[in-house]
Amino acid sequence: MYEAIPDFLARSLYILVPSTLLISFGAYLALISEPRSTLFCSPQHDWARFVVLVQWAGVVLDAAIVIIAWRILAWARTTKSRLRTLAGILLVSGLGAGIFWGLSGDGVGSDTLFWFDVVIDGLTLATLLVSSSLLAPEGGAVLGFAGVVTFITGFLISVQRVWTLGSWENVSGWQTWGAVVGMSAGFTFFLHATDIKKVMFIHRAFVIMALMAVVIAVSIFTPIKMSKGMDSHPLGKLIYDSRVESDRWLIHASYSDSLPSAVREYGERHYGRDPPKGFDRWWEFAKQKKSPIIDHFKQMGDDILPFWGVPPAKLREDTRKAAKEIDMALLQIQNGTARHNLPTENPYQTIMDELVDLIKDFVEHLPDLEMAINLNERPRVLAPWDQIQRLAAAGMKRKKASSLLPGGSSGGSEYGKKDMPKPRLTEAVDKDELLKNTMSPKALRELTSLSCPTGTKVKSGVHWDIRDFCSSCAKPQSNGQFLTNFGLSLELCHQSDLMRLHSFYMTPAEVPPTTSLLPIFSRSKTDNYADILLPLSHPPQTTPLTPPKTPQPWSKNHQKLYYRGSISRPYSDKPLLRGGQEERLVHLTNLPPSSPSTTTTRLILPNQSRSRAHYRSVSTPHLNTLLPFDTAFTSYSPCQQTPSSCPLDFHHLTSSSSPPDPFSSQYILTLDSSTSPSPLFLPTLSSPSNVPFLSTIFKEWYTDRVLPWVHFVPVDIRFHGLHSTLAYFTGIQGQTKEHGSTDGKWIAEQGAKWAARALRREDRQVYLFRLLLEWGRLVDDGRDEGGFKISSS
Of 599, 649, 652, 642, the C-alpha closest to 622 is 599
Q: Count other Cβ atoms within 10 Å, centred on residue 331.
A: 24
The dihedral formed by the CA atoms of 608, 611, 614 and 617, expressed in degrees to the nearest 10? 20
| Amino acid type, 786 | G
Comparing 198-212, 368-382, 418-432, 436-450, the range with the smallest average pLDDT is: 418-432
CB under 8 A, 24+ apart: contacts of 607-613: 607/229, 610/229, 612/228, 612/229, 612/230, 612/231, 613/229, 613/230, 613/232, 613/233
Q: Return the pLDDT at 647.
A: 54
* Ramachandran assignment for 672, one of left (phi > 0), alpha (psi -120 to 50 degrees), beta (any other): beta
With 0-12 / 13-18 / 19 or more C-beta atoms within 10 angstroms meaning exposed / middle / buried, residue 363 is middle
Comparing 119-123, 442-446, 761-765, the range with the smallest average pLDDT is: 119-123
HSE, side-chain direction, 13 A CA sphere, residue 225: 21
Domain boundaries, the chain: 4-228, 268-537+770-778, 540-761
Over residues 91-117, the pLDDT tens digits come to 787 787 777 776 665 554 455 556 666
Give residue 404's pLDDT band: very low, low, confident or very high (50, 70, 90). very low
Q: Return the pLDDT at 110.
A: 53
Q: Return the pLDDT at 474.
A: 94
769 close to 362: Cβ distance less than 8 angstroms: yes
Q: Is the pLDDT of residue 8 over 60?
A: no
Distance CA(14)–CA(51), nearest Å, equals 31
β-pair type (524-526, 698-700)? antiparallel
Distance CA(776)–CA(529), nearest Å, equals 22
Cα 536 to the center of its chain, rounded Å? 24
The radius of gyration computed from the CA coordinates of the chain, to the nearest angstrom, equals 31
Of 148, 155, 145, 170, the C-alpha closest to 215 is 155
Distance CA(219)–CA(85), nearest Å, equals 45
The dihedral formed by the CA atoms of 769, 775, 780 and 784, expressed in degrees to the nearest 10? 100
Mean pLDDT of 214-228: 87
Q: Return the pLDDT at 408.
A: 41
Q: Give the contacts of 347 (CB within 8 A, at least 6 positions apart).
A: 425, 539, 540, 541
Q: Return the pLDDT at 336.
A: 92
Mean pLDDT of 431-437: 76
* Ramachandran assignment for 318, one of left (phi > 0), alpha (psi -120 to 50 degrees), beta (any other): alpha
Comparing 6-15, 83-92, 262-271, 295-304, the range with the smallest average pLDDT is: 6-15
β-pair type (532-533, 665-671)? unpaired
Give residue 736's pLDDT band: very low, low, confident or very high (50, 70, 90). low
Distance CA(604)–CA(602), nearest Å, equals 7
* Ramachandran assignment for 753, one of left (phi > 0), alpha (psi -120 to 50 degrees), beta (any other): alpha
Strand partners, 618: 601
The string of DSSP codes covering 262-302 is: HHHHHHHHTTTPPPPTTHHHHHHHHHHTT-S-SS--HHHHH
Q: Is the pLDDT of residue 735 over 80?
A: no
Over residues 589-616, the pLDDT tens digits come to 988 776 666 778 888 876 555 566 788 8
Which CATH architecture group holds 540-761?
A: 3-Layer(aba) Sandwich (3.40)
pTM equals 0.88
Strand partners, 332: 339, 370
481 close to 718: Cβ distance less than 8 angstroms: no
Q: Return the percent helix, strand and coil in the chain, to nearest 5.
A: 50, 10, 35
632 close to 611: Cβ distance less than 8 angstroms: no
309 close to 392: Cβ distance less than 8 angstroms: yes
Q: Is the pLDDT of residue 258 over 90?
A: yes
